[in-house]
Chains A and B, each alone.
Chain A
Amino acid sequence: MSVTFGKVISLILTERFGPIVSSVGSFLFKSQSSPLLFITRGVDLPLSNIKASLCVLIKYGLVTFKPNKNEKLANYHLESEKVLLMLRYPKYQNLAKIQFGDESAMIIEEILQRGYWTASQLILKVHERLSTNNVNPPTLTHIKDKLVYLITSKYLERLPSPDITKAVPSLIIQENELHVLPKIDIKNLVAYQENNSVTLPDANIYWTVNFDRFHQDMRDHIIVNAFENKFDAQAGEIIKLFLRQMYVRTEPWADVSNPIPSIEIKDILKRQSHQTHALAFFDQYMSIIEQDNSRLLRKVGEASGGSYQIYLKEAFTQFAWELVEQTVLAKYNSKAARIFRLVKEKPYIEPDRIQQLAMIPAKDAKKLSYQLYEENFLHIQELRKTSSNNGPTKNFTLFHIQLENVVRMLLELCYKVQFNHITRRNYERELNKRIIDKKQRVDTILMGMRAQGATEEQLADIEEMITPPEKEVLENIEKMMKQLSLVELEIDDTIFMLKMFIVYN
């Protein structure tokens, strides 16, 4: 909840919803929770605009409301973390695409764009989109199956419905209704396609995206990839199965999984014909992973070939360490990273020992360690001798690391980087507004002419309205935008990783 974070939030809101909504959002961010009256005082906008903005924000689940003490007024509260998640939307779509195919990705995309939607409408829309430019569009039933799968596996959840008996409606839903499938009649849908006046049975049942479920998948991806990097692909495969089996008997967000018998994993591997290598050396892989210094998988019992526990919290702590180390490495140099790791391994270490063990010249070691201290990567504990007031007193300076502080600091840095990149992108766009606008105009003219069936010559004439230097500028801008958005996603990966650490702690 820092200033930088607020700035990023405000930029994201401006980008997606425009300046009016953004100003309301920023005000709510600052005040944490406030009733409509206060918002009108704090934001210099007409009441109707504020109301409309709040509606938009509530629709996307970015603002929640709660009745205040007298239950007559609502206090509005900005879900700032959810605003930040908007940067991750492409990732959710991609994840759905990889795991469940194009239709699912499209379903997720439609919901994300709208905030929530009914199942029938969703199916119809996705069908419509897939039917254009497609010779063999998937059937409605096929899309419905995909949607049902997304709901049963909890990627989508039902939106709570308001209880309108009170002055401030509260949103309620039964736990068991969250992932219950709606009744969808394909005949009914077909009828609706032909005639819009047909009523759909699920008009009031809305669905929205369950981000937590996606985060769980992302977390598993990270763990599997990490094991692939550290050991090899087969080890990654084994861990993947472990994680899958973990859900059978463990809460998804537990710190440590319940014991998982390795024989189960072996059975699954036996059924997968392409995993012969992993199967042949299964026991060896297990012992390697178990004996590794990271100790993320630990044996708990010998029964039925041994059962293992996965230490998820421990895993993300280690990942966070590695992330911080790599940041130190990139920001300074390998010697600084060495010092950092040394202090990690031997907390409360004296500066003299650092230069001895890290084999760095005294001067450099001192400089680097104090530089790291200055940038808050290292922390100092001083021991003072209080008694003697004559002669030089000797102080002990001991270095140590508080990982959580460092992680929070890096998180803050990530926000700042996001802010900088978005600002820069807006600035570049503003700077080259004229050319971009021109390009857009030319493109619309071209489209219009093509539709009217203009000849190639005419089209080329129009295209030449953009001069070669302009073209170059446009290419440059496009490249820049592409890179900035790509990096935006990568930074988001870092944010996710750091957030995971904080969540688990």
Chain B
Amino acid sequence: MGETIEDIESRLLDLARLQPEGISNKDLKQQLPDVPLTDLTGVINKFLKNGTLELFRTKEDLFYKFKDPSKKTAAKGSDNEEKVVYKIIEEAGNKGIWIRDIRFKSNLNMTQLNKVLKSLETKKIIKAVKSVSASKKKVYMLYDLEPDSTVTGGAWYQDQDFESEFVDVLCQQSHRFLVQRLEDATKQGGGPLIIQKRSYATATEVQKYISDLGISKVALSITDIESILYTVVLDNNAERTVASNGKFMYKAISRFLPPPGLVKTSCGICVIEDKCASTGSVNPNICPYITDWLNDS
């Protein structure tokens, strides 16, 4: 008996890998005739316990199927329900799955399912992630998966809250970068066309600038930067054109008009303007907004 238990284990594993549809006891006897049955059962039992092998049963025969060890974690010390739930969650991938859908798929009742999920969670096999689309909805996914951006909302969400300040800062910085570009180009001179050419920037350049600034803790992708730049365009602070290579180019622009006279008055931007009339409690004679405005400027 030169073979150790480890040797038997590896031989058994090789065998099981070769036959993904499963090996029966008969096969084992043929392939491993030299291994004593007691040792074999010990090894098989060990594998079954840690989930490397799975036991299947056709009419009479028992089959052992090899299971990918990378996915084996769930089975460790878990019962059947846990395995079923684990499988369902695993299928959902990094998009996660909602508890109600698990219930339908597994046919487990609520209390039982809760217990299973809790136990899986404490074992750090799965995790619950809050979805941004519905704040009360929790989705489950495997512990080591990175949640999909549709679930987390991408770089702009922190604990399912939209980080508007972060976005604002990024917008400002991107705009500043573009303005800086334009100013540099104007300083260099050399004719309007060259100035225009020089003042264009691509998203990649903006991305580099932003990451050099170090304002963002997370790495921002080009798509993230593009969407930030699009808001700058929407604020009418920049324009977007398509370069010859199909990429977007951005450039700081100025507007046609100075602020109109209308918005320089308190009345033009008054929020209760529709309640205002020559008579009544809101009227221009005693309007405190007009008084403030007259005194201020």
A residues sitting closer than 8 Å to B (CB atoms) are 7, 226-227, 229-232, 234-235, 280-281, 284-285, 287-288, 293-294, 318-319, 322-323, 325-327, 329-331, 334, 337-338, 341-342, 345, 357-362, 364, 410, 413-414, 416-417, 419-421, 423-424, 427, 480, 483-484, 487, 489-494, 497
Contacts and interface: CB of A to CB of B under 8 A. Distances in A.
A410 B193 contact: no
B290 interface: yes
Contact of B297 (A325, A342, A424, A483): A483
Interface in B208-244: 227-228, 230-231, 234-236, 239, 241
Contact of B256 (A319, A337, A417): A319
Interface string B252-271: 01111111111111011101
28 contacts: A226-B256, A226-B257, A227-B256, A229-B257, A230-B253, A281-B192, A288-B193, A294-B256, A322-B236, A322-B255, A323-B257, A326-B255, A326-B263, A327-B269, A330-B268, A338-B231, A357-B234, A359-B167, A362-B162, A420-B284, A423-B284, A480-B294, A483-B294, A484-B294, A487-B265, A490-B262, A491-B261, A491-B268
B154 to A, nearest CB: 10
Given A357-B231, A490-B262, 11 more contacts: A229-B258, A319-B257, A322-B236, A322-B255, A322-B257, A361-B164, A419-B278, A420-B276, A423-B278, A490-B260, A490-B264
B276 A322 contact: no
Contact of A327 (B268, B278, B290, B297): B268
Contacts of A293: 239, 241
A345 B259 CA distance: 21
A358 B228 CA distance: 9
A219 to B, nearest CB: 13
Contacts of B260: 323, 326-327, 490, 493-494, 497
B278 A341 contact: no
**Interface of chain A, main secondary structure:** helix
B257 A326 contact: yes
Contacts, number: 151
Nearest to A4: B277
Which among B227, B256, B258, B268 has the greatest number of chain A C-beta atoms within 10 A?
Answer: B256
Interface string B24-42: 0000000000000000000
Contacts of A359: 156, 164, 167, 171, 227-228, 231
A454 B283 CA distance: 48
B273 interface: yes
B204 interface: no
A235 B161 CA distance: 47
A17 B155 CA distance: 66
Interface string B175-203: 00000000000000001110010000000
B287 interface: yes
When A and B form their complex, which 4 residue pairs have the shortest distance between CB atoms, in order from nearest? Answer: A490-B261, A330-B263, A420-B284, A361-B162
A288 B193 CA distance: 7
B149 interface: no
Given A318-B256, A334-B235, A341-B235, A281 B164 contact: no
Interface string B75-109: 00000000000000000000000000000000000
B114 interface: no
User: A231, A359, A427: which has the most chain B beta carbons within 10 Å?
Assistant: A359
Nearest to A410: B262
B10 interface: no
Given A229-B257, A319-B256, A7 B192 contact: no
Given A229-B256, A359-B156, A364-B164, A493 B191 contact: no
B285 interface: yes
Contacts of B265: 417, 421, 487, 491
Nearest to A327: B263
A153 B268 CA distance: 37
A432 to B, nearest CB: 13
A229 to B, nearest CB: 6
Contacts of A325: 236
